[in-house]
Amino acid sequence: MSEGKGPINGVHRKAATIIVILLFVSCLHRISPKIAHFVNLEAKESESGTTVILTTSEPVQYKDTKLENPPCILISFPDKKVFSNEEDAAIVNKGPIKRIKNEYYQSGTEGERQLNLVIVELTQDLPYKIASSGSSILIRIENPKESELLLNKEKNKIGGDSQAAAKEPLSETGYLIGPGDVLNIEVWNHPDISRDVVVDDRGEIKLPPVRRMSAMAFTTYQLEEELVKFLSKYLIDPIVFVTVKEFNSQRIIALGEVTSGMYTLKRKTTLVDLLGQIGGPTENADISRIKLIKKDGEIFIYDLNELISDSQKRDEALVSGGDTVFVPPLELQRVSVLGQVNNPKMITVKGKLTLVEAITQAGGFNENAVKSSVVVLRGELGALKGYRVNVNRIFKKGDIGLNIELEPGDIVYVPKSFIADIERFLRDVSLPLTWYFWYLK
């Protein structure tokens, strides 16, 4: 019986040996280091931001860490060894990217070295999103915020020293695509699909294999996302970049006391932003009554100083394609101060002008003035209305409610005797005033 069992035991021993060897090889494979190779690194700029594409020979796990001082993004590879023969500084000065630096371990061959970190140095602390697509890691960095500040020269013209509000990031409030715009669409590694397209009158584009799709009122970033969804039916993990080559849809007209012409809006723009971009109003501009005529014919009148000082009103005063901006000249905005003042004159209204300010600009009261019976005349000649104001109450009792704001065309008359009957006074002065203003013209 013992002789019969010998061959069986030998077979068992051989089978056990093979199993052990297979298990050893399997474990050896598991404990051996996972290796990938660095294939390509590039950065793509678009209207909404800059995308860094880091490609390896096979998909790798990554870890991203953000530092604020100095502002940078660190990319490490915890699960695999990634080898590269790239230079230490790969990309310099690309959009918001100051530099992309590869940091290597000291060990390694002279040709390929093991990557420790990929460091994306930024010009400033900026929001970013990171994702993987196949064997590529995509880092999308938003463009910096732009501060639309009025130049010192323009501030003096406007009469204020406030700054225009900083704009929101372009990824949220970017240029809205419309009919006539020319777009460059690049599908990474697919030159057969990449091309320039024109947005048609219906706001649609054609991009084979996608026959038609709407691009109306999309930002470039939003259109990129939509194209990825459409192209994913035909391509594996498509990467799309959209830029506007020609801005043709969002145009406005500026007239009057500004650099007149037709201008293109490249992003969400307030009235203050627009005036700053085109050089600001001239010295002869009436900035208190700027007209914004909307495409549908509705008219809004704005005081530029008020918009600058009130951020909420400034943000609400938006211009859009088809609008017209008219800045009127100061010659149309005058107030006359007549009667018992030291220097009777016509005063150009620059912004707001109160009764006391007008009298002061006319040299103040003379010795014959009756301050308790100052009359403000308002309306067209021949149809004037009169308001009597006791200026003494403003000075002596601080009754600022009587210090009324004057309107263009008002006439301030300071008498040398108390005016009891306003209606009779209006009848008496109507004809002399008509002749007076006719003579001035």
183, two tokens: 């777009």
Residues 203, 53: Cα–Cα separation, whole Å = 30
What SS3 state is found at 247? coil
Residues 438, 384: Cα–Cα separation, whole Å = 16
Q: Which of 371, 374, 431 is nearest to 406 (CA)?
A: 374
Q: Which position has the token pair 């930002």?
A: 219
Residues 223, 243: Cα–Cα separation, whole Å = 10
What SS3 state is found at 432? helix
CA atoms within 13 A on the CB side of 310: 10
pLDDT value for 111: 64
95 torsion bin: left (phi>0), alpha (psi -120 to 50), beta (else)? left
282, two tokens: 């001239």
Report phi then psi at 427, rounded to 5: -65, -40
67 torsion bin: left (phi>0), alpha (psi -120 to 50), beta (else)? beta
179-215: per-residue pLDDT in tens?
888 999 988 888 899 999 999 988 899 998 888 899 9
Q: Which position has the token pair 């723009």?
A: 269
- Tens digit of each residue's pLDDT, the chain (441 residues): 444 555 556 656 666 666 666 665 555 445 445 688 887 888 888 766 788 888 888 888 888 888 877 788 988 888 778 888 777 666 767 788 888 888 877 655 556 788 888 888 888 888 888 888 778 888 888 877 543 333 333 333 333 332 233 233 333 336 788 888 899 998 888 889 999 999 998 889 999 888 889 998 888 888 988 998 889 888 887 888 888 888 888 888 898 889 888 888 877 789 999 999 899 999 888 888 899 998 888 889 999 999 999 989 998 999 988 888 999 887 667 888 988 999 988 888 877 889 999 999 999 999 989 999 898 988 765 567 888 899 999 888 888 888 999 988 888 999 888 887 777 777 766 655 555 554 444
Residue spans of alpha helices (H) in 117-207: 152-158, 170-173
Q: What's the pTM?
A: 0.43
154-179: per-residue pLDDT in tens?
333 333 332 233 233 333 336 788 88
Query: Beta strand 318-319 with 324-327: parallel, antiparallel or unpaired?
Result: unpaired
Cα angle: 192, vertex 193, 194; to 5 degrees: 100
Classify the C-alpha dihedral 338-343-348-353 as positive or negative. negative
Report phi then psi at 320, rounded to 5: -145, 170
pLDDT value for 22: 60
Gyration radius of the chain over CA positions: 37
- Which letter, b or e, does each residue of 147-186 get, where b requires 16 or more Cβ atoms within 10 Å of its Cβ? ebebeeeebebbebebebbebebbbeebbbbbbbbebbbb
